[in-house]
Amino acid sequence: MTTARIRPISSSDFAPFGTLVSIGEGDGGRFDFSNVLENNRLGAKLRVCLVSLKPCELPLEVDRMERHEYSSQTFIPRSCESYVVLVAPPDARGGPDSSQLQAFHVPGNVGINYRANVWHHPMTVLGAPAEFMVIMYADGSDLDEEFVCLAARRSVAPAA
């Protein structure tokens, strides 16, 4: 099994998959990120929910990925030390190319927005339990999300 090494996230490295969402440092103001939300189905409605997640241990074994073909998906940390974002470009048949898996370390004061149709691993929290606000468009059908098992599992570990 090959290992993907976690590296710090940057706007430029994450750009093929989505955008980072700046969360203020207590200086007030409005943080409008509505321009990155995508809805590619007329009948889908905005869905906003809170999720609580338990931390994972590294190394992590990645055996599945997901995508939301018609909607972006945004994660805004409410309480979080840090987390890991795992993304992969599509392969020739449209599934996730696990050989190109990328792993990014994200501090708990930065949100992320996956563009529509981006393959990603379910949220992976590090250190302590965390809570996120999740924003996406959904219509309740099977088209809201797609999960696939990877043909070749990958390991994700901290940078050497």
What is the tens place of the pLDDT at every residue in 102-143?
Answer: 999 999 999 999 999 999 999 999 999 999 999 999 999 999
Return the domain boundaries, the chain: 2-158
pLDDT tier at 93 (50, 70, 90 boundaries)?
Answer: very high
pLDDT at 159: 82
- Residue 24: the pLDDT is 64
Cα separation, 14 vs 108, in Å, equals 16
pTM: 0.93
Confidence grade of residue 152 (pLDDT, cut at 50, 70, 90): confident
- pLDDT higher than 80, residue 75: yes
Q: What is the pLDDT of residues 45-55, one digit of tens each?
A: 999 999 999 99
What's the pLDDT score for residue 35?
A: 86
User: What mean pLDDT is predicted for residues 60-83?
Assistant: 96
Query: What is the average per-residue pLDDT within 72-90?
Result: 96
Residue 92 to residue 98: CA distance in whole angstroms: 12
Strand order in the sheet with 18-22: 18-22, 110-114, 73-79, 130-138, 45-53
Structure tokens at 88: 């992969």
The helix (H) or strand (E) run that includes residue 64 is strand 60-67
* H/E element, 57: none
- Phi/psi at 100 (nearest 5 deg)? -110, 20
For the domain bounded by 2-158, which CATH number is listed? 2.60.120.480
Question: Chain-wide mean pLDDT for the chain?
Answer: 93
Q: Say what the pLDDT of residue 77 is.
A: 95
Could you report the per-residue pLDDT of 17-35, keeping only the tens digit for each?
999 997 766 566 677 788 8
Which strand (E) or helix (H) includes residue 78?
strand 73-79
Q: What is the pLDDT of residue 120?
A: 98
- H or E element: which one contains 7? strand 2-8
β-strand pairing of 110-114 with 73-79: antiparallel
pLDDT at 74: 97
